[in-house]
Amino acid sequence: MAPTGVPWAPGLWRACNLLMSAFFALAAVVQVNDPDAEFWVVVYMIPALLTLLVGFNPLVTGNFIWKSVSVIHMLICVLWAGGLAYHFLRHAQQSILNEEEGSLESTLLINGLFAVKTFCR
């Protein structure tokens, strides 16, 4: 969290976490038309709930359960994104970002990196 000498920093930190929680929740809601929507709803709702908890109580990041869920989700997203990158870079006919799988990989990387940012505050 930000230094305590700046009075508005904790409020800004909470607002950013609540905004990102809303973003991840919205991303989970719009998965309705996806053929594997159940999977993506879980992928988006985990960081939505984690950042919501941080928005309400920034000290929750010291909790063992919060840390465990965050680390496990982060590892799964980063490893899966790495596996997708390896697979699609080997078998790509055109730019990987033109394929649906390329955007899915970007989603996993964003998800994993945001978990790292929240975890390593």
In whole angstroms, how far apart are CA 36 and each of 14, 33, 90?
32, 9, 24
Q: pLDDT averaged over consecutive 10-residue blocks of the chain (121 residues)?
A: 71 90 92 85 92 91 91 88 81 63 67 67 59
Tell me what pLDDT residue 49 has: 94
Tell me what pLDDT residue 84 has: 79
Tell me what pLDDT residue 101 has: 57
Tell me what pLDDT residue 120 has: 63
Classify residue 35 as exposed, middle or buried by CB count within 10 Å of its CB (0-12, 13-18, 19+). exposed
The single-letter code of the amino acid at 69 is: V
Buried b or exposed e, range 106-119, using 16+ CB within 10 angstroms: ebbbebbebbeebb
